[in-house]
């Protein structure tokens, strides 16, 4: 069974109460439970981690090397700023799908730039909590195809 780590970055612990008009009313706990349940239904063993700290996210990415088969990452605002996260992802050579609840390309221009995108298999954004489910489907299909990239 392929193992996938779903990582959430800063402020995503506040999902459900944080700007619900932008991010919806689903809590992080609900998102994580949905990821585990959907993962099981498509043959993935999903674990989850959230941190508001860039270094903790980097440590989790490093620890995924050799223990996980792929990553789903919503880096929150670090998406738009963190060369360190980008370098960590490039270093571990694991397939990663970038996720956002909101459509970052339809929002402020500073959200259009993603450092994660350049080291991700692809990006899914704008579908609320469903973005994570779509990311798991994409990762499962990728791992099944046996493609290296």
Binding site for ligand DQA (CB under 6 A): 11, 74, 76-77, 79, 100-102, 104, 111
89 to each of 36, 66, 110, how far by Cα in Å? 22, 13, 22
Instruction: Spell out the alpha helix ranges (H) of 67-148.
Output: 83-92, 130-145
23 has catalytic annotation = yes
Identified catalytic residue from 78, 100, 132, 142 = 100
132 has catalytic annotation = no
Q: Which is nearer to ligand DQA, 45 or 137 (CB)?
A: 137
Structure tokens at 41: 């239904």
Structure tokens at 135: 């990311």
Supply the minimum distance, in Å, between the C-beta of residue 144 and ligand DQA: 26
Supply the minimum distance, in Å, between the C-beta of residue 66 and ligand DQA: 27
Q: Which residues contact 112 (CB under 8 A, 6 or more apart)?
A: 104, 105
Q: Which is nearer to ligand DQA, 53 or 65 (CB)?
A: 53
Supply the minimum distance, in Å, between the C-beta of residue 140 and ligand DQA: 21
The DSSP letter of residue 25 is S
Active site residues: 23, 100
């Amino acid at each position: 069974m392929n193992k996938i780590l779903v990582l959430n970055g800063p402020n995503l612990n506040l999902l459900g109460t944080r700007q619900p008009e932008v991010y919806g009313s689903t809590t992080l706990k609900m998102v994580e439970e949905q990821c585990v349940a959907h993962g099981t239904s498509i043959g993935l063993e999903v674990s989850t981690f959230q941190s508001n700290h860039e270094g903790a996210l980097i440590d989790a990415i490093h620890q995924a090397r050799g223990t996980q088969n792929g990553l789903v990452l919503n880096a929150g605002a670090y998406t738009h700023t963190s060369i360190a996260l980008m370098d960590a992802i490039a270093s571990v050579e694991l397939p990663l799908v970038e996720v956002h609840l909101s459509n970052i390309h339809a929002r402020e221009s500073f959200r259009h730039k993603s450092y994660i995108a350049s080291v991700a298999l692809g990006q899914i954004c704008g579908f609320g909590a469903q973005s994570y489910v779509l990311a798991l489907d994409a990762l499962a299909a990728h791992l099944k195809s046996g493609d290296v990239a």
